[in-house]
Amino acid sequence: MFGLDLRSRNPWQYVAMESDDLPTCADIHEESFSPAWTAGTIASLLNSPGMRGLVALRTGKKKRQVHGFILYRVVADEAEVITIATARRARRRGAAKELMLAAIRDCLTDRVVKISLEVDEGNLAARMLYASLGFRKAGERKGYYRSGANPEAQSSTASVSTSKPVNPEPGNALIMVLELTG
């Protein structure tokens, strides 16, 4: 469908975010973004209307250990990815792609026709991930981010918001869209 293979091939399972996951999600967010969100901020977002959260867990593990998460909002027939982040220990292992695919499958079930997100123009790894999933550039916000992308984040994470600051120049936000129709 849409040239996108929605089948999972990675050793990850995706389940709804629970309140016990919030501290770990906040730690993962801090590894990827500045300023980082607290567990309280993530909880507040998760309790907003239309907001959904998924976490990535390794299959076959008895103890629940979160390796990544995604927050996205569904309103009517559109969705917006608010943030996605993976723990350093899980990067470059397919967790971010599988989180995105899980969210896309959920959106298709709910008859969402368009998913949007914003990504730091300098975050090449994230941009490549989104392009591989069929997202296309739909717009740009010049100087949106207070800092440019972190070189580590460029090579190892699929983040939607700002990365840890290393560049004092403001980064541009690319608005990317995935059309789920036709």
Domain containing residue 45: CATH number: 3.40.630.30
Once rounded to an integer, what is the mean pLDDT over residues 141-160?
50
Distance CA 134, CA 1 (A): 11
Report pLDDT digits (tens) over 9-50. Answer: 567 888 999 999 999 999 999 998 888 999 999 999 999 999
> pLDDT at residue 151 above 60?
no
Which amino acid type is present at position 54? Answer: L
- Range from 78-82, 153-157, 158-162 carrying the lowest mean pLDDT: 153-157
- The answer to whether position 162 is within a domain reads yes
Domain total of the chain: 1
Identify the domain containing residue 38 by its residue range: 12-179
| The pLDDT of residue 165 | 43
- The answer to whether position 2 is within a domain reads no
- The answer to whether position 7 is within a domain reads no
- The answer to whether position 151 is within a domain reads yes
| The pLDDT of residue 48 | 95
Distance CA 93, CA 156 (A): 10
Under the banding of pLDDT at 50, 70 and 90, the label for residue 171 is: confident
Neighbour-count burial of 181, counting CB atoms closer than 10 A to its CB (0-12 exposed, 13-18 middle, 19+ buried)? exposed
Report pLDDT digits (tens) over 71-94. Answer: 999 999 999 999 999 998 888 888
- The answer to whether position 4 is within a domain reads no
Report pLDDT digits (tens) over 112-146. Answer: 999 999 999 988 989 999 999 999 999 998 877 76
- The answer to whether position 100 is within a domain reads yes
- The answer to whether position 6 is within a domain reads no
- The answer to whether position 138 is within a domain reads yes
* Residue bearing the bigger pLDDT, 133 or 7: 133
